[in-house]
Every structure is written in C-alpha cells, then in structure tokens.
Amino acid sequence: MAKKTLVQAVNDALRHALQANEKVVLLGEDIGRNGGVFRATDGLWGEFGDSRVIDTPLAEAGILGTSVGLAVNGMRPIPEIQFMGFIYPGFEQIVSHVARIRMRSRGRFTVPMVVRVPYGGRIRAPEIHSDSTEAYFAHTPGLIVVSPSNPYDAKGLLLAAVESEDPVIFLEPMRIYRAFRDEVPDDYYTVPLGQAAVVQSGTDVTVVTWGSLVRETLAVIRELEAEQGLQVELIDLRTLSPWDEDTVYRSVNKTGRAVIVHEAVLHAGLGAELAASISEACMLQLEAPVARVTGFDVPPPLFQLEDLHAPTPERIKLAITKVMTF
Amino acid sequence: MGILDDLQGPVLKANRALQLDTAFEATSETEKPEEISELLLQQMYEDMMLLRTFDKRSVGLQRAGRIGTYPPLAGQEACQVGSVLALRRQDFIFPTYRDYGAMMLHGVPMENILLYWNGRAEGCLIPPEVAVFPIAVPIATQLPHAAGAAWAAKLQGIDQVALGFFGDGASSEGDFHEAMNFAGVFELPVVFFCENNQYAISVPLHKQTAVPSIAMKAAAYGMEGVRVDGSDVIAVYRAVRRAVEKAVAGKGATLVEAMTYRYGPHTTSDDPSKYRSDDEVAVWKERDPIDRLGSQLRSWGFWDDHKQAALQSRIDETVANAIRIMESAPPPDPEDLFRHVYATMPARLRRQREELLATLQPNQEGLARG
C-alpha cells in the first residue's frame, strides 16, 4: 500500500489492466514516449512496448473510430482524449456508434472500451481546456459515464470500467490529479460501477456532487456543521450514468432536502435530471424544492474568471442555507 | 499535369542522424533578391527580431507567474513573418494558438495577445479593421473557416484572400481534409500555410503521416502543394506571395508547407527533453532564420552593429510597454462572464449575473469593478 495521487492511481490501474489482459491496448495522442500530457501513462510505453501503448496521429475521430473496430474484433481498447474540449471531432463516433453498436446489432457486436478524458476547469489552463460537458454523454443511452473523486476510487472504478462489457466514458477531474494523496492498495481491485458513495451521513439535507467538487463541498459542509450544527449527508455520485437512484432516493427520503452541485452549466445539466427524478420519487418527503449550484449558463471563460464561473463555497453555502430555511 | 510534379521546393533528403524523414536542403540567397526592396528585407528582419524578443519575454513572464500557459514560437519566426508580409491588409488570417506573432504583425495589439495568455477576456479583442480571426485552440478547426471566408470573398466579388495556418499534426484531423476538399472543389482563394515544426507535441512527423511531406497531400485535392525552407524568410515570402497572386487571379487554393522547428516546448507545460535530443535542437538552431537573414543583410550592406543595437532597444521598449499595459489592466470584471454570450442577454442570464454579484464580497466586487 502506498500513498498515491489520483493520476498515479490511474497509471497504476492502467498497468494492472495491461498486465491482466493481453487484449488491452492504450491509444491516444502523446501517451507513449511522452507518457501523456498529464503523465497518466508514464512509464507504460517502456514497460509494455509501442504495440500496446500507442502514440496515434492527432485525430480524435480516428482514435475513437478505430477503437470501435478494435473492440468489435477482439481487443479491449482504452483510448485517451487529451482534454474534454478536444473530444468533439470524435463525438459522432461516440454517439452514433460506440453507444449504439450493441443495440444496432441486436447484441451481436459490443464495444467494450474505456474512453479516458481529463475534464473540468480551474487549473488556469488555456481556452477550451476546461470543459465539463458530461451531460452530452449522460444524455446518450448506451454509455456508462464515470467520474472518480479520489485516488482510491479512480483505480478501482477504472479497473471496473475495463472489465465492463459496455463502453465507459471515464472522466478524470484534472483539478485533483495531483491535489492530494490517498492510500491506494498495490493489488488489483475494483470499485463497482453504478454505485454512489455516501461520503458522510447526515439527517438534515442531502448534497449530491462528483469529481473535484466532492472534496470542496465537504469542506463547505464542515464549516456549516461548525457554524450552524447542520447534519449534512454528502453523496459522491461516482457513476453519472446510469446513476445510483436507490442511494440518492433513500437519502433524500430521510433528509427531505436535496442540493446538487456541479461545475457544468445549469441548463440541461445533469443536475436537472437529478432534480426532476428526485422530485418525482421523493415528492411526499420533500421539505423544499431541490436546489442546484452549478456553472452559469455561459461558455467556460478564460482562466481569470473561471473560479467565479464554477460553484464557489459561498454559493454552495447559500444554496444549502436556502433549502434549510425554505 | 503530373500531380506530384507540382511539388516544388527543396529536395527531400533523408537524414538518419536526425531521425527525421523530413530533413531537407536549406535554401539561402547569396545575391539580394531583385524583386524585394531593401526596405522590405529590413522589415522582415525587424519583425522576426520583434517576435523573438516578445517570445523570450513571454516565456519569462510565464515562469514568473505573470501570465498563464504559453506556447512559444521561437524558431518559427520566418514562417509567420514571411507569410504575413506576403499578404495585403485586407487578406484574412485564421491562426492557431502559436500564430499570435502573425496576428500581431497583421494588426492585433501586442498587449491583447499578452492579456489573452494571461486568461483575460479583454485579450480576445481584435480591432474591427483588423482581418484576423480569433485563435483556434482545437486542432485544424480553423482551416474550414479559412475556406469559408475565402468562399464568401469569392461569392461577393471581394478582393480578399484567406490564409489558414496549421501545424503538421493538424494534417491528421478530418477538418484538414474537409477544408482542402472544399477549397479544391470550389476553387477558393485560400492559402493553407503549414508550419511543419516536425512534432505534434511529442509525436514526430513520421508517426503522424506515412508520406514524407504535407505539401504532397495537396495533390489529393487537386491543388498545388509547395514546400519551402521555413527558416528562409525570403523563400516563405515568395511562396505565399505567389499563392496569393494566384488566388487573386481566380486560380484557386495553394498548400504551402514551411519546414521549421520550435526551439522551445509545445507549451510552457511541456518537457521536450522527453521526446527529442539537444543535438537535434542544435542542428536546427544552426539554421536560425534571424541569424541567416542578418548575415545576408550585412553581406548586402544593409545592416550593421549600430542598426542592430538601435533595433534591439526599440523592440525592448515596445515589448516592455505592452507588458506594462497588460499588467496595469484593472482587475477582471465578473460581469464579463455574461457579456457577449447572446446578442441580447436572456432574462435567465441577467438573473444569474445578479446571483453572482450578490455573493461577491464587497471588496471583491469593488476590486472587480475597478
């Protein structure tokens, strides 16, 4: 057992995946000799060779389209897209093929693949390097969408994703790639897809979030506990689609209040689906309308304003207070 | 017309020592080119010096935390200077993130470029009379835009050529193919200008494409492909000038490939020692575009130490002044998040703007409002 950052945990999981199954190949831009722009594949090219850790031409549609072909014909590809803002040339491949092959072929063909994508903002990156458009993928039936919030889950969820018979969009929050370390077991292990984690139990209000905002929201909740004595239940959704309805509904039925926090924009964001579902399922227990704290309905700004675009501690606190005093 | 006969420029020559499939013979004029004035030759030199100085200062600013991530252009000055000087003011350029040098030379204020790399919305401003499109960060996406702008000029009978910059890596994207194809099919007045700096971040050209040249690809779109020594500003100027004249004459698009090299990292976040050798960098620095033109100018009697010193001090002052303007800008205005999303701000956005302003600390808001 060693303390690892999230990006080291990803690296560790990829090494296990390559060792466990000779059909696994990694492909993407700069992932080989360079070890990836975030060093997520550091050392793997040297260890496994350039037929398993593959530097591709600069072509996202090519990376994802050939991954479909690789997957239907016996391989287990793990393509990397360098930043979420660059996935769109391959969007057609994801939406029209990756997500639908199983259904279009009535189960004859499947495309078990894990598309790794660094996402989210607030690392002072250049324009179009800060997208958080998970809703596009959650809106696409046939895909599993995952986002870890800590190194332990990152390794376990990634290995579970590689085992999955369905395609997984694996969103890695760049902001916490190196923000902190966790104990990460050296051995192979999985964290099941489709299960949210109750980070902290509470009885007054349920807060649902994922990715880099789990840790930040927890800090806000600790302040609220100290200041107002609130007992907040914090849920890390982990799998964004199909999401863990049981855990969320059980919690909201207990607390009667729900706040959803995400970095993506408000309009048609994943929070809208959660809020609507909670309203339908927990109607009689709700003491207040479901609140959402999200990015504003504007394109991700250049970095000097990005901290104000994302949910700030002030806005999270305000939303929880509002729901409590409704 | 044999399609591969169109491929002009220096002869391809393999150079195993460099591990490059694309090594080529450098070109260099020994006599002053007749058709290029002394004034223009000096302009080329001064512009390249300006970009080199700007680049050096910008890397320093990034290292000191005074701007954000920055993609250095040093080594590629002749490409940007030679191509822009071959254009007319009205010709429309479509830059990548490394073409801020070309943007400046075509009229974008230097301080806006600095503000952009410092994550400031104000840095996105391009003066209305300046024919420069915003930087395209996603690879190759600007090439269809350049084709479209050229198409608009053609449809409206406007005397304007579009020039789209791109790198060697961009030639792998679908947008490259689609832009070239449209330009070929509709015979558009566009120049596709490739700064082939040998690497797409870490991936060398021979792993990017199975043919030894980007210019060669033009044949597949029924257009002329030309390869030039991208460290030879005169050669770049001539090739683009010819492509522009051809476009103006209604003879369609050209792909110009300039063989060049970035001396620095892909961006200040990149470590090029992971994927290329110091020896390789040294070989390219021997072909330095500024040194080369400097020697030529001196041998033709157009340049001396006195002029060099005067130029350097003038350029230092210009760059220092732009940095001063960038750093004296008032703090960013949170309301800029909401401006220019729509022609008229929807009620929903007005409400979100008020929500944000209400949560800002009074001092933060005061600062923000300057």
pLDDT at A39 over 90: yes
pLDDT (tens digit per residue) in A41-65 = 999 999 999 999 999 999 999 999 9
Confidence bin at B30 (pLDDT 50/70/90):
confident
Q: Which residues pair with A260 in a beta bridge?
A: A208, A292
Task: Kindly state whether residues B228 and B363 are assigned to the same domain.
Answer: no
- Mean pLDDT, chain A, as a whole number? 98
Reduced 3-state DSSP string for chain B: CCHHHHCECCCECCEHHHCECCCECCCCCCCCCCCCCHHHHHHHHHHHHHHHHHHHHHHHHHHCCCCCCCCCCCCCHHHHHHHHHCCCCCCEEECECCCHHHHHHCCCCHHHHHHHHCCCHHHHCCCCCCCECCCECCCCCHHHHHHHHHHHHHHHCCCCCEEEEEECHHHHCHHHHHHHHHHHHCCCCEEEEEEECCEECCEEHHHHCCCCCCHHHHHHHCCEEEEEECCCHHHHHHHHHHHHHHHHCCCCCEEEEEECCCCCCCCCCCCHHHCCCHHHHHHHHHCCHHHHHHHHHHHCCCCCHHHHHHHHHHHHHHHHHHHHHHHCCCCCCHHHHCCCCCCCCCHHHHHHHHHHHHHCCHHHHHHHHC
Tell me which chain B residue has its CA closest to the CA of residue A50.
Answer: B207
H helix runs in chain A, sequence order: 6-20, 44-48, 60-72, 91-92, 101-104, 134-138, 151-163, 213-228, 245-255, 270-281, 306-309, 313-324
Confidence bin at A1 (pLDDT 50/70/90):
confident
B60 vs B364, residue with greater confidence:
B60
Task: Kindly state whether residues B165 and B246 are assigned to the same domain.
Answer: yes
* Calpha distance B296→A215 (Å, rounded): 61
Task: Kindly state whether residues B355 and B245 are assigned to the same domain.
Answer: no
Q: Which residues of B touch A125 (CB under 8 A)?
A: 68-69
User: Going by C-beta distance under 8 Å and a sequence separation of 6 or more, which residues neighbour residue A287?
Assistant: A256, A257, A326
Tell me which chain A residue has its CA closest to the CA of residue B141.
Answer: A89
B131 φ, ψ (degrees, to nearest 5) = -90, 65
Cβ–Cβ under 8 Å, residues A180 and A205: no
A42 shares contact with chain B (CB less than 8 Å): no
pLDDT (tens digit per residue) in B272-318 = 999 999 999 999 999 999 999 999 999 999 999 999 999 999 999 99
Task: Kindly state whether residues B345 and B276 are assigned to the same domain.
Answer: no
Task: Give catalytic status of residue B266 as yes or no.
Answer: yes
- Shortest distance between the Cα of A197 and any Cα of chain B, in A, equals 30
pLDDT at B345 over 80: yes
Cβ–Cβ under 8 Å, residues A294 and A135: no
Mean per-residue pLDDT, B74-91: 98
Task: Kindly state whether residues B270 and B135 are assigned to the same domain.
Answer: yes
* Calpha distance B361→A314 (Å, rounded): 10
CATH of the domain at B65: 3.40.50.970
- Mean pLDDT, chain B, as a whole number? 92
A58 shares contact with chain B (CB less than 8 Å): yes
Q: Which residues of B touch A296 (CB under 8 A)?
A: 337-338, 349, 352-353, 356
Percent of chain B with pLDDT over 70: 91
Cβ–Cβ under 8 Å, residues B24 and B259: yes
pLDDT value of residue B324: 98
Percent of chain B with pLDDT over 90: 89
Task: Kindly state whether residues B129 and B71 are assigned to the same domain.
Answer: yes
Confidence bin at B6 (pLDDT 50/70/90):
very low
Peptide linkage before A299 cis (omega within 30 of 0): no
* Calpha distance A25→A15 (Å, rounded): 11
Tell me the one-letter amino acid at B134: P
- Shortest distance between the Cα of B269 and any Cα of chain A, in A, equals 8
Task: Kindly state whether residues B295 and B338 are assigned to the same domain.
Answer: no
The beta-carbon neighbor of B172 closest among A58, A88, A128 is: A58
Confidence bin at B29 (pLDDT 50/70/90):
confident
Mean per-residue pLDDT, B128-147: 98
Task: Kindly state whether residues B77 and B199 are assigned to the same domain.
Answer: yes
pLDDT (tens digit per residue) in A296-317 = 999 999 999 999 999 999 999 9
The reply to whether residue A59 touches residue B68, judged by beta carbons under 8 angstroms, is no
Mean per-residue pLDDT, A110-115: 97
A59 shares contact with chain B (CB less than 8 Å): yes
User: Mutate which of B203, B350, B351 to disrupt the A interface (most A C-beta within 10 Å)?
Assistant: B203
Task: Kindly state whether residues B237 and B351 are assigned to the same domain.
Answer: no
Task: Give catalytic status of residue A262 as yes or no.
Answer: no
CATH of domain A2-184: 3.40.50.970
* Calpha distance A266→B26 (Å, rounded): 55
A57 shares contact with chain B (CB less than 8 Å): yes
pLDDT (tens digit per residue) in B187-201 = 999 999 999 999 999
pLDDT (tens digit per residue) in B208-244 = 999 999 999 999 999 999 999 999 999 999 999 999 9
Task: Kindly state whether residues B344 and B196 are assigned to the same domain.
Answer: no
Task: Kindly state whether residues B23 and B166 are assigned to the same domain.
Answer: yes
CATH number, domain A197-324, options 3.40.50.300, 3.90.1150.10, 3.30.470.30, 3.40.50.920: 3.40.50.920
The reply to whether residue B201 touches residue A29, judged by beta carbons under 8 angstroms, is yes
The beta-carbon neighbor of B336 closest among A57, A62, A305 is: A305
Confidence bin at B40 (pLDDT 50/70/90):
very high
Is the sign of the CA dihedral A224, A225, A227, A228 positive or negative?
Answer: positive
The reply to whether residue B169 touches residue A301, judged by beta carbons under 8 angstroms, is no
Task: Say how many residues make up chain A.
Answer: 326
Task: Say how many residues make up chain B.
Answer: 370
Record the tokens describing residue B364, joined without a space.
């933060």
A62 shares contact with chain B (CB less than 8 Å): yes
The beta-carbon neighbor of B202 closest among A34, A302, A318 is: A34
Q: Which residues of B touch A267 (CB under 8 A)?
A: 348
User: Going by C-beta distance under 8 Å and a sequence separation of 6 or more, which residues neighbour residue B278?
Assistant: none
- Per the structure, the complete domain to which residue B343 belongs is given by 334-369
Dihedral angle computed from the Cα positions of residues B343, B348, B352 and B353, in that order, rounded to the nearest 10 degrees? 30
Report in angstroms the alpha-carbon separations of B106 from B82, B145, B334: 12, 18, 30
Is the sign of the CA dihedral B263, B269, B275, B279 positive or negative?
Answer: positive
The reply to whether residue B135 touches residue A127, judged by beta carbons under 8 angstroms, is yes
* Calpha distance A64→A27 (Å, rounded): 9
The reply to whether residue A308 touches residue B137, judged by beta carbons under 8 angstroms, is no
The beta-carbon neighbor of B173 closest among A32, A89, A312 is: A89
Mean per-residue pLDDT, B12-22: 36
pLDDT value of residue A13: 98
Confidence bin at B369 (pLDDT 50/70/90):
very low
Record the tokens describing residue B17, joined without a space.
């020592």
* Calpha distance B210→B256 (Å, rounded): 19
Mean per-residue pLDDT, B118-147: 97
A318 shares contact with chain B (CB less than 8 Å): yes
- Shortest distance between the Cα of A301 and any Cα of chain B, in A, equals 6
Cβ–Cβ under 8 Å, residues A294 and A266: yes
- Shortest distance between the Cα of A275 and any Cα of chain B, in A, equals 18
How many distinct structural domains can be found in chain B?
A: 2
Nearest to B98 by CA among B74, B115, B130: B74
pLDDT value of residue B25: 66
pLDDT (tens digit per residue) in A186-240 = 999 999 999 999 999 999 999 999 999 999 999 999 999 999 999 999 999 999 9
Q: Which residues of B touch A57 (CB under 8 A)?
A: 169, 172, 203, 207-209
Residue ranges per domain, chain A?
A: 2-184, 197-324
pLDDT value of residue B26: 74
The reply to whether residue B207 touches residue A55, judged by beta carbons under 8 angstroms, is yes
ipTM field: 0.95
B30 vs A184, residue with greater confidence:
A184
pLDDT value of residue A242: 98
Cβ–Cβ under 8 Å, residues A302 and A322: no
Task: Kindly state whether residues B248 and B295 are assigned to the same domain.
Answer: yes
pLDDT (tens digit per residue) in A122-141 = 999 999 999 999 999 999 99
Cβ–Cβ under 8 Å, residues B292 and B105: no
pLDDT value of residue A90: 98
- In the block, tokens 């009229």 appear at B107
A272 shares contact with chain B (CB less than 8 Å): no
The reply to whether residue B139 touches residue A58, judged by beta carbons under 8 angstroms, is yes
Tell me which chain A residue has its CA closest to the CA of residue B177.
Answer: A59
pLDDT value of residue B362: 66
Q: Is B174 left (phi over 0), alpha (psi -120 to 50) or beta?
A: alpha
The SS3 assignment for A110 reads coil
Confidence bin at B28 (pLDDT 50/70/90):
confident
Cβ–Cβ under 8 Å, residues B58 and B172: no
* Calpha distance B134→B94 (Å, rounded): 7
